Structure formats: structure tokens, C-alpha cells
Amino acid sequence: MSMSTPALVRLRRRGRPPKAANRRDGRGISRGESAAEITAVACAQRVKAGAPAHDALNALWGSAIGTLHRRWQLDASDPRGISAEQYRAAQAYIAVTIRYCELMGIPLPRPAGGEDGATRPDPDEETVLRVRRRFADFRRALLDAGAALGLGSRVNAAVYRVCIEDPPIAAVAPTEVERLRYGLNAIARVVR
């Protein structure tokens, strides 16, 4: 049984029609975007958020705390930046807070990363005590700094919000950056 020409026209591929602009291999299968196209999108997003175009691919521009540190690296007199010591204190705070939340079963207010949610064996009692003690030391230093400045828990709230919640940099007010600096200085004293 042979098919006539009109029957061949009716038999066509199912599904969505292929996009003409996509890169395709020899069999016609789409191979997605190139690395340059992906990089251009990331660069454009960072420039829109305030990064200089020539420096937008620096990894520090990818988070609020990194952006604040990069601002300081570019201009140490910029009041919207944090120093290298403050940045290291922020990294220590982030590491301890994330580990503390994992141990206590507290959910973090951000999307899970690649290793988040992975099953690990229960840590030994010494590790749990060490992390809990370090977290308590950081929290006490933040609350003491806030009390000394007459700001109460707002210093602790600013450090948690910028370091852990990682808001868009446009949503971080100058007063919050100031409180963040006070808090990171207090954490840096504990880390020393």
C-alpha cells in the first residue's frame, strides 16, 4: 500500500514547532544557549543592579554582602561598602548560622543549594556544642553592640537580613548598611 502525496503532508512531526534561532546539532536537536549568551544575561542583571559594566562578571556582585564588599574594594571611602575584615566576619557568621540551622532543624529563608537537604550522619556531641556555642557568641556580640548603640536588636536583624536572607542590594537601606557594619565589627572581635 503506497501513500499518496496528500497523505504525506498530513503526517508531520507532533509537538511544538522548532524555534528557528536555536542552535541545533546534525540531527536537528536543540543545544540551548551558548556560554556567552548565559554570561551576557548574568552580566546585564548585575549591571542593572548597579555593578560597573567592566566589572560585572566579578563573583562578588552575585550577593548583597559581596556587592557591599566589592564597593569597598573599588572605593574604600564609599559609605555603602564593607571592609575585608567585615567581609570575613560576614562569611564566618554565614557559615556558623547555616550550620546551626541545619543542626537545630531550622529552615533557612532562601532556596536550597546543591548540598542543602543532603542526608548526613548526625554530628557528634562535641561538634553540636561547638557550633551552638559559636552561634551564641555571635548573637551575644550582636545584641551587645546594638545595646551599646541604643539600637537594641536592630543590629542583629540587619546582619541576619543581609547575610542570610540576601535581599536585592537596592532593598538594603543606608541605615541598614550602617547597622550591618556595627554588627560585623562585633563579630570580627569574636572571631579574632
Q: Compute the distance between CA of residue 1 and CA of residue 169 in angstroms, rounded to an integer.
A: 69
pLDDT by residue (tens digit) across 145-179?
A: 999 999 989 999 999 999 999 999 889 999 999 99
Shared-domain flag, residues 36 and 107: no
Q: Are residues 51 and 70 in the same domain?
A: no
> How high is the mean pLDDT of the chain?
85
Note whether 181 and 101 are same-domain residues.
Answer: yes
Query: For position 12, what pLDDT does the model report?
Result: 62
Same domain? 106 vs 158: yes
Evaluate if residue 109 carries a pLDDT over 70. Answer: yes
Task: Quote the radius of gyration of the chain (alpha carbons, Å).
Answer: 25
Q: Is 114 left (phi over 0), alpha (psi -120 to 50) or beta?
A: alpha
- Do 69 and 107 fall into the same domain? yes
> Is 135 among the domain residues?
yes
- How far apart, in whole angstroms, are the C-alpha atoms of residue 139 and residue 100? 12
CA 60, 62, 65: angle at the middle one, nearest 5? 65
Query: Do 55 and 70 lie in a common domain?
Result: no
Considering the domain architecture, whether residues 127 and 56 belong to the same structural domain is answered as no
> Diameter of the chain by CA atoms?
92
Over the stretch 52-107, which tens digit does the pLDDT of each residue have?
888 888 888 889 999 999 999 989 898 889 999 999 999 999 999 999 998 888 88
Residues 97 and 86 occupy one common structural domain: yes
- Please check whether residue 17 lies inside any domain of the structure: no
pLDDT digits (tens, 9 = 90+) for 17-35: 777 777 777 777 777 777 8
Contacts 24+ apart (CB under 8 A), 164-169: 164/94, 164/97, 164/98, 164/108, 164/109, 164/110, 165/109, 165/110, 166/63, 166/64, 166/65, 166/110, 167/64, 168/49, 168/64, 169/49, 169/50, 169/64, 169/67, 169/68
CA distance 130 to 115: 22
Instruction: Determine the distance from the C-alpha atom of residue 54 to the mean position of all C-alpha atoms in its chain, rounded to a whole number.
Output: 21
d(CA 84, CA 163): 15
pLDDT value at 189 more than 60: yes
- 3-state SS of the chain: helix, strand, coil percent to 5? 60, 0, 40
Q: Tell whether 82 is covered by a domain.
A: yes
| 68 and 41 in a common domain | no
**161 and 139 within one domain:** yes
| Same-domain pairing of 186 and 138 | yes
Per the structure, the count of domains in the chain is: 2
Provide the domain limits for residue 38: 30-61
Residues 6+ positions from 54 with CB-CB distance below 8 Å: none
The whole model's pTM is what?
Answer: 0.76
pLDDT value of residue 9:
54
